[in-house]
Amino acid sequence: MYEVRIHSRGGQGGVTAARLLALAAIRDGKYAVAFPFYGAERRGAPVVSYVRIDDQPIKVYSQIRNPDLILVLDPSVMDVVDVLHGMKQGGRVLLNGPEPRDMKGFPTLAVDLTGIALRERLVVAGSPILNTPVLGALAKMGIITLDSAKAAIREMFSDERNITAADAAYKELNA
């Protein structure tokens, strides 16, 4: 089973990113579940979302304590949350930003999802929406295929700027 933990802030699209990733994995012929963990959060508050992907039916619906991949949509969350807590040995980190950071020895990739969203004018209530570009980066990492990422995006959103943003993240991630 492949487990992903997504750290974001309310309003950035982290919960939707989890749903899109699960939908894309299902389109790739896998089993997948996605769910958020939050209380009475509001826009801007830290939010954690989870995705499990497997070749077999998934019967576990609890929080992910030992992820294979940690996705950080807002690096400022790292100031208030230990995003690496419980990371599996050999796990990877994907950061939203222009350059990777040292993440305690874990292999780390970075792509400027915010810049891509702003370039494509994917903004809601003043916040760049990061959920569709990140699917392109996840496809480049081999978590899902680019075709399934685009199909999932099109199933949820009609605006083709979302596809352009996913393509840009796919091209810009050095994986």
Q: Domains in the chain: how many in total?
A: 1
**pTM exceeds 0.75:** yes
- State the Cα–Cα distance between residues 158 and 46, nearest whole angstrom: 28
Say which CATH number the domain at 25 has.
3.40.920.10
Q: Give the residue numbers spanning the domain of 15.
A: 2-172
- State the Cα–Cα distance between residues 172 and 137, nearest whole angstrom: 8
The pLDDT profile of the chain, 175 residues, written as one tens digit per residue, is 999 999 998 888 899 999 999 999 999 999 999 998 866 556 778 899 999 999 999 999 889 999 999 999 999 999 999 999 999 999 999 999 999 888 988 999 999 999 999 999 999 888 899 999 999 999 999 999 999 999 999 999 999 999 999 999 999 998 6
- State the Cα–Cα distance between residues 135 and 6, nearest whole angstrom: 12
